[in-house]
Amino acid sequence: MTDTVTDAGYDSMRARLVDYLRLHVGMEQISERVLQAIGNVPRHLFVRERDREFAYNDYPISIGHGQTISAPHIVAIMCTLMDVKAGMRILEIGAGSGYHAAVLAELTGERGTVYSVERIPELMKFAQQNLSNAGYRNVVVTTGDGTLGLPEHAPYDRIVVACAAPAIPEPLTDQLKHGGRMTIPIGGRVQELYMIRKNEVISKEKIGAVVFVPLIGKYGF
């Protein structure tokens, strides 16, 4: 272990990150429950070893293969929009480091499950390893084209797309439960984050501008 920071050091960095999010992003966009979940997830175990000391700063960090772990505030905002209740079945597209899945796992609890699909096999292994090191047993990471969803465990209460899509992939709305919610960034270099609600009709609410890596696949770029 080449770590120069102690566990107590990471704990206090994490507490400072939570305070920062509470003060600077604000409670309209981030719920107290989500802040607690962020406060429980050891984010330094979801970046490469050399980047651990930066893990509690509010910006994205490279995880290799041209991909990034999203900034904490964006994870917090998306998780708040998802309004996750204990026991829910959640699908994430784009596991990356596994961090966002870990925050969702905190929110759905032991009775719920998070399924996460990752296109790049090396990152699927990275996410699995990180989640296992951090002690999460209710997250299942698989490799494949997430634009097709994961029909074998559908329907889902919530779907989170962690990469930018040209449009909403139809398999994802098909695999969303009635009464379910999905968050997805749509657009080119800069995207709009949308919250989708599936009831008798599918409604789309624009949340704000975001920048994600592209969703690559059959119903992606």
69 DSSP β-pair partners: 61
Q: Does residue 116 have an active-site annotation?
A: no
Min CB(162)–ligand SAH separation in Å: 4
Q: Which of residues 188-217 bind ligand SAH (CB under 6 A)?
A: 213, 215-217
- With CB atoms as reference, the residue minimizing the distance to ligand SAH is 94
For residue 219, which phi and psi values (nearest 5 degrees)? Answer: -105, 20
Q: Which of residues 3-42 bind ligand SAH (CB under 6 A)?
A: none
What is the C-alpha to C-alpha distance for residues 13 and 35, in angstroms, rounded to an integer? 14
Min CB(129)–ligand SAH separation in Å: 13
Whose Cβ is closer to ligand SAH: residue 125's or residue 203's?
A: 125
Burial (CB < 10 A; 0-12, 13-18, 19+), residue 41, is buried
What is the C-alpha to C-alpha distance for residues 75 and 104, in angstroms, rounded to an integer? 9
Q: Which is catalytic among the residues 12, 31, 62, 70?
A: 70
Q: Which of residues 106-145 bind ligand SAH (CB under 6 A)?
A: 117-120, 123, 145
91 DSSP β-pair partners: 115, 159
Name which of 112, 103, 84, 94 is nearest 38 in CA terms. 103
Binding site for ligand SAH (CB under 6 A): 67-70, 93-94, 96-97, 99-100, 117-120, 123, 145-147, 162-163, 213, 215-217, 220
